[in-house]
Amino acid sequence: MTAPAPLQHLPPDELEGVGEDTWLDVIHKMEEVYSKLVSDEVELEDKNAQLEQSQQFIFSLLSAMSDVLIACNQDGLIEETNAALCALVGRSEQALRGTPVLDLLADAQSVERWQLAKYHAASHEVAVVEINLFDALGQAVPVDMNCTPRHNSNGRQVGCVLVGRPLGELKRAYHQLREAHEALKLAQQQLLHSEKMASLGRLVAGVAHELNNPISFVLGNVHVLKRYGTRLTRYLQAIHQLDLSAPVQALRGELRIDHLLDDLPSLMEGTLEGAKRTADIVNGLKRFSTAGQEKVTEVELNAVVERAIHWIQKGTSPRFEIRWVRGADCFVNGNAGELLQVMMNLIQNASDAASSGAAKAPLLFISLERDPQSVHLRFADNGPGIAPEHLSRIFDPFFTTKSVGQGTGLGLSISYGIVEQHGGHLTCINLPQGGTLFTLSLPLRQSS
């Protein structure tokens, strides 16, 4: 801005009739106006700088937002976006500005939801909608949007603002949260299981000690009784060869002495078998607290199955029918006593389950199949099956579906551990026609 010309430079004819004071006032006013103009220009420059800083701040906020943003006018034309939306749809901000929001929507359902959101915004309401947008590859991406009305400085509505986040990110976050929750649950279950096993280990030590002593007495006494029985048999046979009187002969028949002598060896063997079975159960409990290796030998499975059937049928209802056909010899490496324990437990459980329904006779099918590497024993009963919510827990220690006093919840858990120690696996499913199928799979013994 240039200063006014000095008074002495004005032409003489223009100064005629004007006083010097008047001209001094004019010059003074012009100087005030000039100063005001300079002050306004400085203030304007400060305001421009502040406005530029505000615009830069808003731009940085929009660029830093991870949520997508769309600001549109009343006609649905895009006026402002952010970097997140540009990256999602693969278009620049300049290309998006002035584009209808409808061009970004991937399907008719999203169009309807957008129209409904605009209606709510026109009613000064906030709407939450899920719409599908085209991404940079032309694929539909679900986005959870908040639609908010936008007003100018006079309070008049001039459009709406859409802010949202692609649901893929939310799903990934939810998936990570769920994985963390499942890991925490698993850690808690493992902690509880470890505590149970520690308690069981202490319990088993006392139980094993208490049971082993009477078992030893039974075994020792039975062996002595076998020797006594052999001697008594020889003696009675010698007596029977004599010419006995009629009353003695009648007493011999009445007391069924001959039948007693014939049955005595079988009773002794049964008592020995029961005592050994009890000892095997105690050893099975010990495996929960110790990791000792049992003696491994060659075991023929058909013989083990038949032995288990023989002993279970002695103590079950005569209505319980077991259908089993012996196959070709099938050998595995393992402990015969432990495998017998597993099969007796499976057969006994099948008897208990099948006998719980009085409508039909209890029945168990046992089959043996083999492939080049493994053998599969299947135990299928005709009982009511296992509740679906219990199937995943059927092999857990202390879990049982039987009534109080009918089961400890350890039989299947012990059996599961024995099978795993033999390199196999034990599974359980419900049959479509009803009943339960247990499958015992073991690796075959490979001939050298």
At which residue do the structure tokens 């010059």 appear?
27
Rounded to whole angstroms, the Cα distance separating 357 from 381 reads: 12
Q: Is pLDDT above 80 for 447? A: no
Q: Report the Cα 203 to chain-centroid distance in Å.
A: 31
Higher pLDDT, 246 or 302: 302
Q: Is-contact 428 391, C-beta < 8 A? A: yes
Q: How far apart are CA 302 and CA 327, in angstroms?
A: 7
Is a pLDDT exceeding 60 seen at residue 14?
Answer: no
How much is the pLDDT for 301?
Answer: 92
Sign of torsion over alpha carbons 347, 413, 339, 269: negative
Question: For the residues 427-437, what does the mean pLDDT come to?
Answer: 89
pLDDT-derived band at 248, boundaries 50, 70, 90: confident
For residue 379, is pLDDT > 90? yes
- Single-letter code of the amino acid located at 143: V
The Cα 201–Cα 132 span in angstroms is 59
pLDDT of 291 > 50? The answer is no
Task: Note the pLDDT tens digit of each residue in 56-112.
Answer: 656 665 555 668 888 989 888 998 888 888 888 889 988 998 999 999 898 999 899
- State the CB neighbour count (10 A cutoff) for residue 130: 13
Report the amino acid identity of residue 350: A
Residues 195 and 289: their CA atoms lie apart, in Å, by: 11
Provide the sign of the torsion angle of the four alpha carbons 196, 197, 201, 202, taken in this order: negative
335 belongs to a structural domain: yes
In a domain, residue 190? The reply is no
The span from the CA of 396 to the CA of 127, in Å, is 50
- 3-class SS at 148? strand
Within-domain flag for 159: no
Q: pLDDT band for position 366 (50/70/90)?
A: very high
Q: Which residue has the higher pLDDT, 61 or 129?
A: 129
Report the pLDDT value the prediction gives residue 441, as an integer from 0 to 100: 93
Residues 391-404, mean pLDDT to the nearest whole number: 72
Contact 101, 70 (CB under 8 A): yes
Closest CA to 71 of 164, 161, 148, 165: 161
Residue 23 belongs to a domain:
yes
Which residues make Cβ contacts (< 8 Å) with residue 333, sequence separation at least 6?
296, 297, 298, 299, 422, 443, 445
Q: Is residue 178 part of a domain?
A: no
Q: How much is the pLDDT for 446?
A: 75
From residue 82, how far is each of 85, 141, 391 by CA, in Å?
Answer: 6, 17, 52
Q: Does 250 map to a domain?
A: no
Whole-number percent of the chain with pLDDT over 90: 8
Kindly indicate the confidence band of residue 442, based on its pLDDT and cuts at 50, 70 and 90: very high
Per the prediction, the chain carries an average pLDDT of 79
pLDDT over 90 (residue 438)? yes
Dig out the tokens for 45 from the structure. 């420059």
Domain boundary among 15, 34, 61: 61
Domain endpoint, select from 25, 44, 61: 61
> How far is it, in rounded angstroms, from Cα 126 to Cα 194?
53
The arithmetic mean of pLDDT across residues 408-417, rounded, is 78
Length of the chain: 448
> With pLDDT > 70 as the criterion, what percentage of the chain qualifies?
80
- With a cut of 80, say whether residue 210 has pLDDT above it: no
Average of pLDDT values for 381-402?
80
Confidence grade of residue 426 (pLDDT, cut at 50, 70, 90): very high
pLDDT tier for residue 288 given thresholds of 50, 70 and 90: very low
Question: Residue 335's pLDDT is what?
Answer: 85
3-state secondary structure of 44: helix
Q: Is residue 22 part of a domain?
A: yes
Say what the pLDDT of residue 1 is.
Answer: 45
Q: Kindly state whether residue 75 falls inside one of the protein's structural domains.
A: no
What would the two tokens of residue 354 be? 């099948």
For range 421-445, the mean pLDDT: 90
Give me the pLDDT at residue 169, please: 63
- Give me the CATH number covering residue 390: 3.30.565.10
Query: Quick one: pLDDT at residue 368?
Result: 92
| 133 vs 20 pLDDT, higher one | 133
Torsions phi, psi for 323 (to 5 deg): -105, 115
Provide the residue range defining the domain that includes 47: 7-61
* DSSP assignment of 215-280: HHHHHHHHHHHHHHHHHHHHHHHHHHTS---HHHHHHHHHTTHHHHHHHHHHHHHHHHHHHHHHHH
Number of folded domains in the chain?
2
- All residues at 6 or more sequence positions from 27 whose CB lies less than 8 Å from its CB, including other chains: 4, 7
Q: Are 257 and 179 in contact (CB under 8 A)?
A: no
| Averaged pLDDT for residues 122-151 | 85
Question: In terms of DSSP H, where are the helices of 78-166?
Answer: 83-89, 93-96, 108-122
Higher pLDDT, 247 or 206: 247
In 3D space, the residue among 268, 440, 284, 434 whose CA is nearest the CA of residue 347 turns out to be 440
Q: H or E segment at 349?
A: helix 336-355
Q: How far apart are CA 80 and CA 73, in angstroms?
A: 10
Residue 388 in this model has a pLDDT that exceeds 50? yes
| Spatial CB neighbours of 409, under 8 Å, sequence gap ≥ 6 | 396, 397, 398, 399, 400
Q: At what angle do helices 257-286 and 301-315 cross, to 10 degrees?
A: 110
